[in-house]
Amino acid sequence: MQNRILLGIFCLCVGVAVFSLQDALIKDISGAYPVTEAIAIRAIVAMPILLAVVHLDTGVGAIFAESIGFLTVRALIMFGAYGTYYLALPALPLADAVALFFTTPLFILLLAGPYLGERVSWKSLVSVAAGMIGVVIMLRPGASVFEWAGLLSLFSAALYALSQLMARKVSVTVTAPVMTFYQNGVYLAGALLIAGLFMALGIEHAAHPSLEFLVRPWTWPTTIDFLKMAACGVIASAGMLLLSQAYRLAPANSVATFEYTGIIWSPLWGLLFFAEVPQSTTVIGAALIVGAGLFALNAGRRKERGAAFAASDPA
């Protein structure tokens, strides 16, 4: 059992590291191509890989699940989550964008009450408050250096949190590869639809780098840039497989904490590829966000253990 947990932790850490490369690649091409083109190429490359994974996992017939409508709605929310996150990358240092996205556990705490009917303890609310203080330190609202693109990363975290809560409702009957396959299909359709809409409206330029990344017209990529965008499809598929395997090998409460190893990679890629040196406010804010998130995860583990103990009590 201990070996399975260690292997699960290893798979999760490698999966998080692999996923982090996608952020650096997207940021790298964000000055020359639109986000819709990057998402479309990523989705096209990932499609056959994910189809093969579904076939090996449960059979292709699992795609035609009874929860098609629910899975499509969840995939649309995921499309919004990743779309807004990608839009934040051209305007923010990589470390800032990733740290703000790591508020996801805090949003899960806030949304679990109204969505799942779960009771949120005062300790959990304190962790949310501490995390939000970290957000304020990083965003510095009112300061001359305030960058509203940070709100895109926060909005992305909120949407991602909602999608994770939705996944809980169908996780018993729908596998992770099937959910990911639906997400990938919606990513492709959504990217093509949005690109077509801006083309029809004749909108091709914007002053802010995030908006420019959204409305910029498609252009034929160079071989190197195409390979970067295509690599995102391979990375996303490999990362999904590693994370799925991690949660199969070990209990979620044993490995979930290690998702925060992503906070190590983002400043490293930012420094190596974009010469970005994290500011003191980034370090302090990220520490508060990560600390609050870890506290929230630990509180969730204690709650699950308490519920399991109560269920096993013969009284």
Domain extent listing, the chain: 2-312
Nearest to 91 by CA among 4, 5, 30, 166: 30
Residue type, 41: I
Nearest-angstrom CA–CA distance, 77 and 187: 10
Query: Using CA atoms, how far apart are residues 18 and 240, in angstroms rounded to an integer?
Result: 10
Could you read off the pLDDT tens digit of each residue along the chain, which spans 315 residues?
677 788 888 888 898 899 899 999 999 999 999 999 999 999 999 999 999 988 988 888 888 877 788 889 989 999 999 999 999 999 999 988 988 888 887 887 788 777 767 676 767 777 778 888 888 887 776 554 567 888 999 999 999 888 878 877 665 577 778 888 898 999 999 999 999 999 999 999 998 999 999 999 999 999 999 999 999 999 988 887 787 777 667 766 667 677 788 888 888 999 999 998 888 888 888 888 888 877 766 665 555 554 433 333 433
DSSP structural state of residue 61: G
From the list 140, 135, 176, 138, the residue with the least C-alpha distance to 53 is 176
Give the closest residue to 70 by CA, choosing from 191, 162, 188, 192. Answer: 162
